[in-house]
Amino acid sequence: MATDKAELFGRHFVYEVWMLLETRNCLSRGVIEKLVRNALIESFCLHARALVDFFNGKKGADAAAFADDDYKPFPDGHDLGDLIVKVNTQIVHLTGKRTANQNEKINHRDRETLLQGVWAEVTNFLRHLKPEYHPLWPELTWSPIVVGTSLGILTTTST
């Protein structure tokens, strides 16, 4: 059965954002056993990729269907494509392009770049969100200013 748009946005999109933020928060709390740390890194990267795909209208739902006609994803031109290729190569796909070299793997800086880029796009997207979806966004606890401040992400706009 197809998921309706309200459920897709209010449940699934919100879940993807929540998981991105929570996996990042767990990782930032410090040293975790290797298995759990790897699982958190993989989860973070998969949720970041799912959100980038959503914003770009690839492989599933398209953010543009929930936004006004002026919405353009990643208006600053930083669509995170290089990092998504790295996620695909290092985590999602089993390929000969994987590396054992720790210096070439997805690292803290890569994850923070993904977080900042995705969060900037969440903020951009929410500015263009159609009014019927506004009640489905948990505004009181997830406003871009509140989240951006708590994560140390510089954000200059609010919804």
DSSP 42-104: HHHHHHHHHHHHHHHT-SS--GGGGB-TT--SSTTS---HHHHHHHIIIIIS--TT----GGG
pLDDT at 94 over 70: no
Question: To which residue do tokens 């309200």 refer?
Answer: 6
Backbone angles phi, psi at 123, to 5 degrees: -60, -45
Report the pLDDT averaged over residues 71-75.
95
| Distance of alpha carbon 45 from alpha carbon 150, whole angstroms | 20
Residues 6+ apart with CB under 8 A from 77: none
Q: What is the pLDDT of residue 109?
A: 92
Q: What is the pLDDT of residue 154?
A: 38
**Pairwise pLDDT comparison (15 vs 32), residue with the higher score:** 15
* Percent of the chain clearing pLDDT 70 (strictly above): 81
pLDDT at 46 over 80: yes
pLDDT at 16 over 70: yes
Residue 42 contacts residue 50 (beta carbons within 8 Å)? no
pLDDT at 150 over 60: no
Say if residue 36 is exposed, middle or buried (CB neighbours under 10 Å; 0-12, 13-18, 19+). exposed
Enumerate the β-bridge partners of residue 67: 129
Give the pLDDT band of residue 125 (cuts 50, 70, 90).
Answer: very high
pLDDT at 155 over 60: no
Q: What is the pLDDT of residue 140?
A: 43
**Pairwise pLDDT comparison (57 vs 141), residue with the higher score:** 57
The crossing angle, in degrees rounded to 10, of helices 14-28 and 108-127 is 150
